[in-house]
Amino acid sequence: LQQELALTVQFLDRDERNFHCWNYRRFVVSLLLLLQKQATARSAIKSSIATGTGSWDVLLQGGENDKIDEQILLMGAQVAAPAAPSIDEEEKADLADGAAPDSTDWIAHEWIFTKQKIEQNFSNFSAFHYRSKLYPLVQPLLEDELQLVENAIFTEPDDQTAWWYQSFLLRQNTTSDEILSQWQSHVSNLEELAEEVPHSKWVVLGMVNCGMMLLKRQQDSSDAGSQRTALLTQCQKLIDLDPDRKGRYVSLEQTILKIA
């Protein structure tokens, strides 16, 4: 399996956005996680290889207590794996090549690998998507993830990939004052970017999405009225920049007005 993992590294070096390879890598990692958690499965696979059956069906054999969930096998064991512990800089260096050593925390390894690939190409949607699957297991610092988003959008504001990940982050926990403060700082950075690229609808839309979340969380504050007015102004700018999608932005305006 680690040879297969190393093979995906070679493929992704040739085409870092190959979603077929990313899906296969996730499948391989899910098997590695299952092997870590299921000693009986490890023995069964070795037995299968030794007898030359060459089939993964043996994973699904066994008694009622040791049968492996088919859905976990097919959809990825990440959904059931424990959260990854923090890792130090030395461990990061060991994991950075994408082909892990014999014994490692696979979730932490994949988390580092996705960031490496994203930083090589900010348009790598497959890496961002995989990162979103790992996110709830790693529980990273929001500040770090927003920095990754900003690095991408300041490089290419009209690339939708990083904006998709920003939208994903907005759906995560946004309740604490510290987290809200980080989002406010993010919006301030977007406002600076909007001055540099005034014709980018994606920057304005990103500000609207963040602003709506902040308005919902702070609707009782004294600034709520001015925040709502600013959002409506941004929606009008979106209509001017992208008139073909006027209906969508009018719907956003109606949603903003309903935030009591």
The verdict on residue 71 lying in a domain is no
C-alpha distances (whole Å) from 28 to each of 25, 61, 64, 67, 226 are 5, 19, 25, 19, 51
Token pair belonging to 194: 């909007």
**pLDDT category of residue 136 using cuts at 50, 70 and 90:** confident
pLDDT for 84 equals 40
Q: Of 85, 109, 139, which residue is a domain's last? A: 139
Provide the phi-psi class of 49: left if phi over 0, else alpha when psi is between -120 and 50, else beta.
Answer: alpha
Q: Is residue 240, in this structure, part of any structural domain at all?
A: yes
Q: What is the pLDDT confidence band of residue 52, given thresholds at 50, 70 and 90?
A: low
**Does residue 120 have a pLDDT over 60?**
yes
Q: What is the pLDDT of residue 237?
A: 96
Number of domains in the chain: 2
Residue 93 — very low, low, confident or very high, per pLDDT cuts 50/70/90?
A: low
Residues 37, 156, single domain; the answer is no
pLDDT at residue 210, rounded to an integer: 95
Q: Are residues 163 and 129 in the same domain?
A: no
pLDDT at 170: 94
- Identify whether residues 40 and 151 lie together within a single domain: no
State how far the Cα of 111 lies from the Cα of 134, in Å rounded to an integer.
Answer: 7
Q: Residue 81 domain-assigned? A: no
Q: Is residue 236 part of a domain?
A: yes
Contact call for residues 136 and 25 (beta carbons, < 8 A) = no
Q: Does some domain include residue 33?
A: yes
What pLDDT digit, counting tens, does each position of 162-200 carry? 999 999 999 987 678 889 999 999 999 999 999 999 999
Per-residue confidence band for 25, with pLDDT thresholds at 50, 70 and 90? confident
Q: Based on the domain organization, do 135 and 243 belong to the same domain?
A: no
The two tokens of residue 242 are 């992208």
Dmax over Cα atoms in the chain, in whole Å? Answer: 72
Q: What is the mean pLDDT of the chain?
A: 79
At 83, the pLDDT band (50, 70, 90 cuts) reads very low
**Residue 97: what pLDDT?**
54
pLDDT band at residue 253 under the 50/70/90 scheme: very high
Residues 147 and 245 in one domain: yes
Average pLDDT on 82-105 reads 49
What's the pTM? Answer: 0.72
**Calpha distance 161→45 (Å, rounded):** 38
Looking at the structure, tell me whether residues 254 and 135 fall in a common domain.
Answer: no
Instruction: Report whether pLDDT(79) > 70.
Output: no
pLDDT band at 28 (very low <50, low <70, confident <90, very high): confident
DSSP state of 85: P
Q: Let me know whether 232 and 133 are in one domain.
A: no
pLDDT-derived band at 27 (thresholds 50, 70, 90) equals: confident
Per cent of the chain over pLDDT 70 is: 72
Distance CA 119, CA 249 (A): 32
Give the CATH number, domain containing residue 243: 1.25.40.120
Residue with token string 């930083």: 119
* Domain span including residue 9: 1-46+125-139
Residues 140, 182: contact at Cβ < 8 Å? no
Residue 115 tokens read as: 């960031």
User: Which pair of structure tokens corresponds to residue 33?
Assistant: 């996680």
